[in-house]
Chains A and B, each alone.
Chain A
């Protein structure tokens, strides 16, 4: 079973409520769900849609063609009718006209009879669930959970009316459901909370705001100081203050906000105060495409900040990865006293996926904080590893902690000495050498030793995985390396597979093939073909499949 539905209309028409009820109901039926929301940077009007895919297999991308189009306006029919399969259906209220074979339903009429125009989408939901053969009680349960009693009752009536409007075409097997349904921003925030983050601050910026929202919503429950700062300059400086004072601290934004954090990123490098930050990318330059997706900040994340200092950059591949990598980011930041930068994007941030519930039992929190000292405390004690023992200010009587953005001596005091300067640079960079030893190699999917080697990173994972698996099923020797840890850049597996690979195909959601340039620089390997996309829309699995097939 692999079905796709698009619901489209104008901003403000309640599509998100429909989408979340539909997604949750399908999940409860025991299916995997992947949903992507395509929205404009406006609050009312325009054209927005959700593409929701349901499958018995695990999925992480949408398809090009769809089975059901639920149109809330004529524009939706115009924009999406070509995607509807021959066997598919276009559903709309009687009042909506369009040059297509539309199954008109009495949605507004029924809503009028119920004296509640707000439930029109729920009537549509009922009709569609009936069409799919979903038992009404599953959706009823979801509605009861999502709304307060009064609103739930109105929607339950609407749902039942909707069930009367259509005949069943499918008969879904109801399977056991043990999954969760989560998007990338939620997974990151959840990871941060699980990791013991007690300070999160940010300035609203699409598509990163979901993280700030989630943290704020759970702040009281988990004793997290959440602050909406005056600007992103304040954000990272403030997070560094909180971390210096001893709590796990994080901040996040999208590219423009991250740009404002760059000076403080460099500060984090020299003061050696651990911090986690995330850039939920959207297409730039500048304001760019505020609500859309791209992977064009990779080089920026790796190089941002004046001067030379160690950092780690981790690209998040899917919601599950986002959760575990966020936790790991906190541990690594505190192991090396460095900034750890997570890269996500709108596609991952807003994409909703079904996943097995996350495992909280095996999470370990490693802080590397000294609670006592034997000798005089020096913030920047020179050690073989380059990592200086860390204490928390105020916790040890007689010991004080001085951090300094100027070049400093072991105590943290300003120095003008060339000799100390050299030692401090070496100390900081030694940490990077050590870090290289613990980075994870990219995931390998498909053939163990493929002739056609696809390389990609971050959230293109879902589409590339599906495309590669389909091509492999056709007997093609193909595999893909999906990079998560991306700075320091892991080269082992790539070098090994390169020996056998005839063709290296780079798939990225940007215009300048930034991963390809990294590979050339770090592994002295050049990809043979680049498949790039930078229209702001995520790759579908079909598109990756087609474009790889063209170049094989």
Chain B
């Protein structure tokens, strides 16, 4: 591997699923031939969200729950950048839930990788929006009392055009998903099952390993009803792969001047251009 994405020493725990996700991300960028300065990784706060520090590309490490809004702003300002959001299940489905819903509606061209460890890692083991009902945590010591969010089903109902699930324990498969998501024109969600070896003693590596299975070759990922069934399958068996993928007009396609013209960041600024607006007020 070339070392163009210089890697830094992460502060993740040994054995954490995040290492594999980082390896997969690096390979995906490498294989797509994207140079470090052509991509921005945007993140919120959490263990997953530390990604911009551990791989040398452009990075915007913002606030907890707020990875999507700056990512959208970045893509609107410079359509030529590849924008990738790296975030946790709490970051995206909890604190950032509203942005998640509306990012899907916009269908802006970003790849969104959610490291779903079904727990709050960084803040030491509280339930996340995807922790199972009844699971005992450091805070919910008598078990979680609320229904988990079903992120993929939610994304499908909101009209997402690319919905996938990956597993940090299967790097080659994950690389494939990441590449597809980055290449996809529009908003692409990949929910990545990621064991947290310290705080989630239920959804362990082997728990996932024993359950995940590949969607068969014959699976039709343009069939939304099928996709919905697969999205809700999260018990003894958990499908991984692209659940749903269709072509859709992207948000920026709807702005003619962005679609046809240069990236906004490349526009010359000339105050005199605005002088004609004076006529409106005469």
Contact = CB atoms under 8 A, between A and B. Distances in A.
Contact of A180 (B36, B68, B278): B278
Nearest to B261: A223
A393 interface: yes
Given A223-B264, A402-B52, A242 B74 contact: yes
Nearest to A182: B281
B11 to A, nearest CB: 8
Contacts of B62: 237, 240, 267, 271, 405
A320 to B, nearest CB: 12
Contacts of A400: 36-37, 56-59
B60 interface: yes
Scoring B56, B68, B271, B273 by chain A CB atoms within 10 A of each residue's CB, the highest score goes to B271
Given A233-B98, A237-B63, A264-B63, 5 more contacts: A195-B269, A225-B255, A357-B281, A361-B272, A394-B80
A403 B277 CA distance: 36
Contacts of B275: 194, 360
B178 to A, nearest CB: 19
Contacts of B264: 198-199, 223, 225, 247
B265 A245 contact: yes
Nearest to A392: B265
Interface stretch (B38-46, B198-206, B231-239): B38-46
Interface stretch (A54-62, A276-284, A406-414): A406-414
Contact of A245 (B66, B78, B267): B78
A193 B98 CA distance: 30
Nearest to A355: B281
A402 B58 contact: yes
A404 interface: yes
A160 to B, nearest CB: 24
B40 A406 contact: no
Contact of A190 (B58, B255, B277): B277
A414 B42 CA distance: 15
Contacts of B257: 220, 223
Given A222-B274, A225-B258, A365-B271, A404 B61 contact: yes
A5 interface: no
B77 to A, nearest CB: 4
A523 interface: no
Given A244-B74, A365-B269, A392-B265, A237 B66 contact: yes
Interface in A199-251: 199, 201, 218-220, 222-223, 225, 227, 229-231, 233-235, 237-249
Nearest to A414: B53
Interface residues of A, number: 70
B35 interface: yes
Interface in A171-190: 179-182, 186, 190
A518 B74 CA distance: 37
10 contacts: A199-B76, A220-B256, A230-B98, A234-B99, A245-B81, A327-B271, A358-B278, A360-B278, A363-B271, A403-B60
A234 B53 contact: no
B35 A397 contact: yes
Contacts of B255: 219-220, 225
A313 to B, nearest CB: 22
Nearest to B78: A245
B70 interface: yes
B80 to A, nearest CB: 7
Given A247-B264, A401-B58, A402-B58, A240 B102 contact: no
Contact of B78 (A358, A394, A396): A394
Given A199-B76, A365-B269, A402 B59 contact: yes
Contacts of B256: 220
A403 B272 CA distance: 33
Interface string B82-98: 00000000000000001
Given A225-B258, A267-B63, A397-B37, A193 B277 contact: yes
Nearest to B35: A397
B37 A396 contact: yes
9 smallest CB-CB distances across A and B, nearest first, come from A241-B73, A241-B70, A196-B269, A237-B69, A242-B73, A245-B77, A180-B281, A363-B271, A246-B265
Contacts of B265: 198, 245-247, 392, 395
A11 interface: no
A325 to B, nearest CB: 15
Contacts of B80: 394
Contacts, number: 199
A427 to B, nearest CB: 18
Interface residues of B, number: 56
A225 B58 contact: no
A237 B98 contact: no
A246 B71 CA distance: 13
B281 A181 contact: yes
A177 to B, nearest CB: 8
A412 B41 CA distance: 13
A230 B99 CA distance: 7
B177 interface: no
B77 A247 contact: yes
B152 interface: no
B274 A190 contact: yes
A399 interface: yes
A405 B77 contact: no
B153 interface: no
Scoring B40, B71, B73, B261 by chain A CB atoms within 10 A of each residue's CB, the highest score goes to B73
Contacts of A267: 62-63, 66
A405 B61 contact: yes
Interface string B239-277: 000000000000000011110010011010111111101
A475 interface: no
Contacts of A239: 73
B8 A413 contact: yes
Contact of A194 (B52, B70, B271): B271
B193 to A, nearest CB: 26
B181 interface: no
A345 B269 CA distance: 29
A264 B66 contact: yes
A87 to B, nearest CB: 32
B94 to A, nearest CB: 14
Interface string B184-219: 000000000000000000000000000000000000
B115 interface: no
A307 interface: no
Nearest to B81: A394
Contacts of A244: 60, 70, 73-74
Contact of B272 (A218, A227, A360): A360
Nearest to B262: A223
A241 B60 contact: yes
Contacts of B229: none
A243 B62 CA distance: 13
Interface string B26-40: 000000000111101
Contacts of B136: none
B268 to A, nearest CB: 9
B156 interface: no
A441 interface: no
